[in-house]
Amino acid sequence: MTNKSLQTLKKILYWSCIFLWGYFIASEYIGSLAKQIKHPVSSDFYKFYLSGKLYQNNESMYWIRKSDENNNSDSKKNIEPEPTNASSPPPSYLHPNLNPPTFTLLVSPLANLDFNAALTIWSVLSLLSGLISAILIRNVSVCKKKTGISLALLTLSYFSFFPIFANFQYGQVGLFLLLILTLAWLAQRQEKLIISGILLSLAISIKPFIGLFILSLAFFRMWKAFISCIGSLAIILLSSLAIVGIDEYESYFRVLKTVDWLSTNWNASIHGFFARILGGTSNPSMFDYPLAAKLASLFFSSIVVLSIYALGYRLRALDYKAKCDVLFSVTIPAMLLTSPLGWLYYFPMLLISGSQLIKFGNNFKNSRVFWLIMAIPALIISTPSILVPSSNVDHQKAWTLDASVYFYSLLIIFAAIYSHSQSPPVKSVRISAHPKAT
């Protein structure tokens, strides 16, 4: 058999494996979408959809769950789970949408459609947003060689990454946030600082915990992007306030106070970890010291923020693009750690951080040790798991291990990026081609 025949046979084998892999992945996603269509209450997008419907009907976007008893009784099964029309109230057991009014204004056009059509459009656009982000990240940070097989493998790897599926499974907004942050990062690297600031302000208006980027921009002395972000955010919030009124924001903050599921296993934040250990919610915990839980969460979250300040000060003379890479790669895990709800379905944003970890690993003296350590969080995050309600996280193994593995993984990722960011190649700002860009 000639070399040409061997190469042809090898390609046929590669594409056959890719086809089978793709078929399995596609069946999982199609099945998940079908489940959300059949049982809308299983999808968080249903809450977004209901908020949009209520807003269009001149009602409040937010509702208060009438009783937690319905969550633990068979009465929930007797309630029709299909989407209600604009004049119908949300199911009494359904917790309201936890996103700010600005987000509801952005998604409200979908409420003009039938729920099935709205969910399908949302899901497809979400997956495309994430895939475009993955390709952009790959092209900039990892590998610029483009072949049909490599692109197919990247696409299948993207769809196989469990946080991507978790985001899709619950109709969440994480992949849209990934695209916004990716575009902001690329704009920042190209010194389009005003655009970067505007994009970051859009992400913050959707998910306030991304606001840590405002502090990071200040810590890294990127003042033009900082001012752009602050100014754009003020315009977005004032515009939203003028449209929906202050009552909607009061309802939003009132709803946030009802959150009592910090200890669920998909919450990888510092607050979630200490809620499982020290209590502070209505759910079981190892100990019952709610004040200690709040103080510990605040203390360690402050340590994370101060560490970013120290890193920004240390790297003030770093080459501009390298500094942009460090800022984004370290802020993303930090904001998930410090947010009260650092959900697993926000982990796709870690793809930006992961691209920098690959760079660090390739330059690390003992790369085998580095990759062995990083394989631990990578395997944990990529392994499918079931969302366990906080009420079921009720024993020591769950508190310290089962429900906390994502927290430990996120902590390892943050520590790895932080430690390897402290001594990258430095290039004096004075001889930079764009010394005033920051």
**Residues, the chain:** 438
- CA separation, residue 436 to residues 69, 83, 224 (Å): 59, 53, 10
Q: Are 28 and 165 in contact (CB under 8 A)?
A: yes
Identify the pLDDT of residue 150. Answer: 75
Q: What is the band of 69 on the pLDDT scale with cuts at 50, 70, 90?
A: very low
Identify the pLDDT of residue 66. Answer: 65
Q: Is 294 helix (H, G, I), strand (E, B) or coil?
A: helix
Q: Are 252 and 47 in contact (CB under 8 A)?
A: no
- CA separation, residue 284 to residues 261, 271, 293, 421 (Å): 10, 15, 13, 38
Q: CA angle 351-234-52, nearest 5°? A: 70
Residues of the chain above pLDDT 90, percent: 65
Question: Where do the H-state alpha helices sit in 257-289?
Answer: 270-278
* Sign of the dihedral through C-alpha 404, 410, 415, 420: positive
Rounded mean pLDDT, 124-150: 83
Other beta carbons within 10 angstroms of residue 242's beta carbon come to 9
**Looking at the predicted structure, is the pLDDT value of residue 166 above 70?**
yes
Q: What is the band of 86 on the pLDDT scale with cuts at 50, 70, 90?
A: very low
Q: What is the band of 143 on the pLDDT scale with cuts at 50, 70, 90?
A: low
Residues of the chain above pLDDT 70, percent: 88
The answer to which of 275-284, 301-310, 376-385 has the lowest mean pLDDT is 275-284
391 vs 387: CA distance, rounded Å: 12
Identify the pLDDT of residue 426. Answer: 44
Identify the pLDDT of residue 175. Answer: 97
The answer to which of 25-39, 238-252, 422-436 has the lowest mean pLDDT is 422-436
Q: Is 331 helix (H, G, I), strand (E, B) or coil?
A: helix
Q: Rounded mean pLDDT of the chain?
A: 87
Q: Are 311 and 421 in contact (CB under 8 A)?
A: yes
Rounded mean pLDDT, 13-34: 91
The answer to which of 277-281, 328-332, 365-369 has the lowest mean pLDDT is 365-369
**Looking at the predicted structure, is the pLDDT value of residue 83 above 50?**
no
Q: In this structure, what are the phi and psi dihedrals at residue 343, rounded to the nearest 5 degrees?
A: -70, 155
Identify the pLDDT of residue 147. Answer: 67
Retrieve residue 86's tokens: 């604009």
Identify the pLDDT of residue 2. Answer: 72
Identify the pLDDT of residue 142. Answer: 62
**Looking at the predicted structure, is the pLDDT value of residue 120 above 70?**
yes
Q: Which residue has the higher pLDDT, 109 or 16?
A: 109
- CA separation, residue 358 to residues 34, 172, 336, 346 (Å): 36, 27, 20, 20
> pLDDT (tens digit, 9 = 90+) per residue, 284-326?
889 999 999 999 999 999 999 999 999 999 998 888 888 999 9
**Looking at the predicted structure, is the pLDDT value of residue 76 above 60?**
no
Identify the pLDDT of residue 71. Answer: 43
375 vs 370: CA distance, rounded Å: 9
Q: Is 293 helix (H, G, I), strand (E, B) or coil?
A: helix
**Plot region of 221 (φ>0 → left; ψ -120 to 50 → alpha; else → beta):** left
